[in-house]
Amino acid sequence: MARKRSSRPRRRPGHRPPHKPRATAPRGRPEPHGFTAPGMRQLFDLVLPMRGEERKQFYNQASTGLVVGLGLGGAIVGYSWGGVFGAVIGLAVGVTAAGTLVEKQRFYRR
């Protein structure tokens, strides 16, 4: 008896289709490491004299500065394009984009 859909691959009993991951496979992409990427941790240990909670506060302040800086940059670009209204829109877009980046890359930690 001929198969009905010859263009599709045959499903073999007991085998998972290749596009479906196993239940034990790790979900999603690897977890980001924030400011301390591989190889940089040793450099930061040498350069920064602080440890533990103090270092975490330093990184959190750097992350906050990143958000404020990108927000102000967006406001300046927006002002040059559209005056005061453009500055408000640019500030909102800059802070939103930087906040999303900081949150997704786990730069700011509690």
CA distance 2 to 47: 71
Sequence-separated (6 or more) residues with CB below 8 Å from residue 88: 75, 78
Range of the domain at 63: 52-104
- Domain-embedded: residue 34: no
- Domain-embedded: residue 13: no
Sign (positive or negative) of CA dihedral 32, 36, 39, 40: positive
- Domain-embedded: residue 16: no
- Domain-embedded: residue 87: yes
The mean-pLDDT minimum among 2-6, 34-38, 42-46, 54-58 falls in 2-6
- Domain-embedded: residue 36: no
**pTM for the whole structure:** 0.62
Q: Which residue has the higher pLDDT, 4 or 89?
A: 89
Supply the pLDDT for residue 67. Answer: 95
| pLDDT > 90? residue 10 | no
- Domain-embedded: residue 67: yes
Domain count of the fold of the chain: 1
- Domain-embedded: residue 20: no
Supply the pLDDT for residue 6. Answer: 67
- Domain-embedded: residue 99: yes
